[in-house]
Amino acid sequence: MKQLNPSVQPHLHRIVIVGGGAGGLELATRLGQSLGKRGQAQVILIDAALTHIWKPLLHEVAAGTINSYEDELNYFAHASKHHFEFHLGRMCDIDREQKQVVLEPLSNGESVVIAPERRVRYDTLVVAVGSTSNDFGTAGARENCIFLDARPQADRFQREFLSLYLQAQARSLSDQNPQFLNIAIIGAGATGVELAAELHHAAHELPRYGLTSIDPRNVNITLIEAAERILPGLPPQTSHTAERELKKMGINVMTSRRVVAISPDGIECDGDIHIPANLKVWSAGIKAPDFLKNIAGLETNRINQLVVGPSLQTTLDADIFAMGDCASYIPEGETRPIPPRAQVANQQSILLAKSMKARLNGQPLPHFKFTDKGSLVSLSQKNSVGNLMGDINVQGIIARLMYVSLYRLHQVAIHGFFKTAVLMTKDLLSRSSGPRLKLH
């Protein structure tokens, strides 16, 4: 492998990617395997976490239907195999004059500082830091809701969900009355719908493992949506099918209902409606992380996304690119930006891998054209709904297989076909031998 020490190769073009998620990790891997391997550029990935888990799996982590520790990837190990460098750190600023990314001091989570503020020089910078939930300033949301933005929050939800079962189990020794569990999910986009269905599935699985104190019929899951229909970003047919399936499961679907405040014991909606809830999840809307707002004088929009042109270069600095959920790109002739989805991040990583090569060779940069391959929404282990190519509606096990294949395609992009096949085999074996739910 080529030695990438900058002091040995001072003129090597340095591409720094900040954010190793659905888009950034695929891009770092592609560039490492090409420019990094051939010694044509130094590729550096920076992420605030040590490990990667594909974000669309987070609702399954929250429900305990997958074990996040089995599906995660360690950045250091992956980088060393794929000819790029990994730096652990959280970007807090960009110094455009010095062409440096500023990383905040790194602590070990117990306020011990492991590394002071650091700066990483770049020739080309790609910002791929994703998005966080947008609570639109709703009173009590931050204090009382869980946001499924990253693995620690999904793990926290899973622990709290399990704790409520364990508490009910303990209570049932002295109290013979039926035990209830109320869960409210605010926002019925793909995340909210998928989580509701996954929790319904988990509630029916738990009694198989002896956690019988809460009858699955007493697990009340309420999905609250401000728009007229659930999955408002998808075609109406998909919304109607998904709503019908959720209702069949006994999930309480409330549409055209605006949440005005969240209290420790429930949700307050307009019309003076109170929905009692032990567990509350906020999944309505996204925004780019707050630190991006007007960062380094770059153009950002009202939800903090960096505004980019067709080559995904930021509008005010051609050396800085942005991709995925943290970027806003409105194609010519359209009025709305392309949506924040994993398939967009994937397609942009493919484009940017080409762009970086073109940039090194002084060639014009290709333009991004989003090909919407449709959207699939998981309704738990055996069912999904969605539409393909805009107008083909799919449902059931076929849709579920297509949904699962999206994750496998992400694995192929970062591990290649052979390792993905090995991982699939390992998953099949461990899921057939171990419990279907994470119970710790």
Ligand X SMILES: Cc1cc2nc3c(=O)[nH]c(=O)nc-3n(C[C@H](O)[C@H](O)[C@H](O)COP(=O)(O)OP(=O)(O)OC[C@H]3O[C@@H](n4cnc5c(N)ncnc54)[C@H](O)[C@@H]3O)c2cc1C
Q: Measuring CA to CA, how many Å separate 88 from each of 19, 112, 428?
A: 10, 15, 32
Between 58 and 186, CB nearer to ligand X: 58
Stretch 38-57: interaction string toward ligand X, x if CB under 6 A: --------xxxx--x--xx-
Among 19, 32, 36, 266, binds ligand X (CB under 6 A): 19
CA distance 415 to 202: 30
Q: Is 36 in the site for ligand X (CB under 6 A)?
A: no
Query: Which range in 14-22, 78-86, 179-187, 425-433 contacts ligand X by CB under 6 A?
Result: 14-22
Between 139 and 296, CB nearer to ligand X: 296
Q: Any idea what DSSP says for residue 56?
A: G
**Residue given tokens 């693995």 in the structure block:** 151
Q: Is 66 in the site for ligand X (CB under 6 A)?
A: no
Between 72 and 268, CB nearer to ligand X: 72
**What is the smallest separation between the CB atom of 412 and ligand X, expressed in angstroms?**
16
Q: Is 130 in the site for ligand X (CB under 6 A)?
A: yes
Between 44 and 206, CB nearer to ligand X: 44
**What is the smallest separation between the CB atom of 22 and ligand X, expressed in angstroms?**
3
CB atoms closer than 10 angstroms to residue 74 = 12
Query: Which range in 1-9, 122-130, 134-142, 430-438 contacts ligand X by CB under 6 A?
Result: 122-130
Contact by Cβ (8 Å): 155, 137: no
**What is the smallest separation between the CB atom of 11 and ligand X, expressed in angstroms?**
27
Question: How far is C-alpha 146 from the geometric centre of its chain's CA atoms?
Answer: 14
Among 12, 14, 21, 279, binds ligand X (CB under 6 A): 21
- State the number of binding residues for ligand X (CB under 6 A): 34
Stretch 250-269: interaction string toward ligand X, x if CB under 6 A: --------------------
Considering only residues 78 to 97 of the shown chain, the ones binding ligand X according to CB under 6 A are 90-91
Among 14, 30, 59, 287, binds ligand X (CB under 6 A): 59
Among 12, 16, 17, 22, binds ligand X (CB under 6 A): 22
Contact by Cβ (8 Å): 314, 299: yes
Considering only residues 184 to 223 of the shown chain, the ones binding ligand X according to CB under 6 A are 190-191, 194
Question: How far is C-alpha 223 from the geometric centre of its chain's CA atoms?
Answer: 20
Residue 270: CB partners within 8 Å, gap ≥ 6?
Answer: 257, 258, 260
Element (H or E) spanning 165, and its range?
A: helix 151-171
Among 30, 99, 341, 438, binds ligand X (CB under 6 A): 341
CA distance 131 to 339: 12
CA distance 215 to 189: 28
CA distance 81 to 29: 9
Between 179 and 238, CB nearer to ligand X: 238
Q: Where are the beta strands (DSSP E) in 193-337?
A: 219-224, 252-254, 259-263, 266-269, 273-276, 279-282, 286-287, 306-307, 313-314, 317-322, 327-328
Q: Is 145 in the site for ligand X (CB under 6 A)?
A: no
Tokens of 28: 């770092």
Contact by Cβ (8 Å): 310, 332: yes
Q: Is 386 in the site for ligand X (CB under 6 A)?
A: no
Stretch 287-306: interaction string toward ligand X, x if CB under 6 A: --x-----------------
CB atoms closer than 10 angstroms to residue 317 = 17
Among 128, 164, 186, 196, binds ligand X (CB under 6 A): 128
Q: What does the binding site for ligand X look like in residue numbers (CB under 6 A)?
A: 18-24, 46-49, 52, 55-56, 58-59, 90-91, 128-130, 148, 190-191, 194, 289, 324-326, 340-343, 345
